[in-house]
Amino acid sequence: MNNDKQLKGTLDNKQAQVIAVIPFDFSRKFYSGQVVKVQFLNDGVDGNTATIIQNYVTAALQTYGQNLAAEVLMKNGQKNYVPIDLEARFWYNPDLQTTRFLIPGLIAMILLITAAISVSLSLVREKERGTIEQINVSPINSFELITGKILPYLILSLFNAAMILIVGYFLFGVEIKGSIILLFFTTLLFLSASTGMGILVSVIADSQQVAFSVATFVTLLPSFILSGFIFPIESMPWPVQILTNITPAKFFIEILRAIIIRGTGVASFWDQALYLLLFTTVIILLSIIINKRKENNG
């Protein structure tokens, strides 16, 4: 490409994301000791991708410049002196694979959506069929009813989590570096919060259609946007950071990344587990209060 129009057309048509503009007299100026300017045109529509490309370009130019400087010094009989030798190491994810970061979030999203929607639909179905009154007058208490309703979905959710981990290991090389026992118990804690959300939805909704819509709305959108699954919470405005506490996926994703990726123990995520327990308690108490008010009004 020899003109600006061709350069602009290449970026406009997304045929390239970065273009290096090298002057035609680059070699002459360089070997004559003159300052040479090289321009890089970077497509900045996707800010994250543009930043990554810029970092790669900067690193490549620094390496190229250091090699040229060493070559010139060797020709002059001088030794290359590096006062500070910087060596970068990436812990926990040395090859910077995105899948290692996304799979824990994927587990949290699938478990939350599956548990909340399934439990809410199961309980609301009894209302629609009119069998909830028969259950209320039967010897079965509320705890036994809820336990019987949520137990199959807890087992199904645990099976889903195990399948994701197995597929992630064989396809993407994602290993569990921490304790499997800790992973199991924290998953049960998260499923308690997820089923609690399903119980709350079943108390509010009177039909399966409404229950499905409400459960999807309160689980899918918050867990995708506000949980840190895709967007880092630290980069959000502080009012939005406070709002992220409405989804238990936020706490569970931190726990999963600590266990699966970093391989750390309870000391690194005890506060997240405590928040998850507090969230579960608040959701269950809220469900009980709303259910009693509806019974008194009815």
Clarify whether residues 212 and 113 are in a common domain. Answer: yes
Pair 197, 215: CB distance under 8 Å = yes
Q: Is 228 exposed, middle or buried (0-12, 13-18, 19+ CB in 10 A)?
A: buried
Q: What is the pTM of this model?
A: 0.74
Q: Are 45 and 171 part of one and the same domain?
A: no
Both 48 and 164 in one domain: the answer is: no
Do the domain assignments include residue 202?
Answer: yes
Residues 180 and 215 in one domain: yes
128 and 44 housed in the same domain: no
Q: Which helix (H) or strand (E) holds 202?
A: helix 180-204
104 and 217 inside one domain = yes
Confirm if 257 and 101 have CB atoms less than 8 A apart.
yes
Neighbours of 94 (CB within 10 A): 8
Total structural domains within the chain: 2
Distance CA 15, CA 1 (A): 13
Predicted local distance difference test score (pLDDT) of residue 250? 92
Each of the 298 residues of the chain gets a pLDDT tens digit; together they read: 567 777 777 877 778 888 888 888 888 887 777 777 888 888 877 667 788 888 888 888 888 777 777 776 777 766 666 556 666 677 777 777 788 888 888 889 888 888 888 888 888 887 777 666 665 666 666 667 677 777 888 888 888 888 888 988 888 888 888 899 999 999 999 998 999 898 889 888 888 888 889 888 888 888 888 888 888 888 888 899 999 998 999 999 999 999 998 888 898 899 999 999 999 999 988 888 887 787 677 5
Q: Are residues 19 and 141 in the same domain?
A: no
Q: Are residues 165 and 125 in the same domain?
A: yes
Q: Is residue 83 part of a domain?
A: no
Beta-carbon neighbour count of residue 291 at 10 Å?
16
With respect to residue 81, please indicate whether it lies within any of the assigned structural domains.
Answer: no
Domain extent at residue 105: 98-297
Is residue 134 located within the same domain as residue 16?
A: no
Asked if residue 105 and residue 70 are part of one domain, the reply reads no
pLDDT of residue 208: 87
In this structure, are 231 and 278 located in the same domain? yes
Count CB-CB contacts under 10 A for residue 165: 20
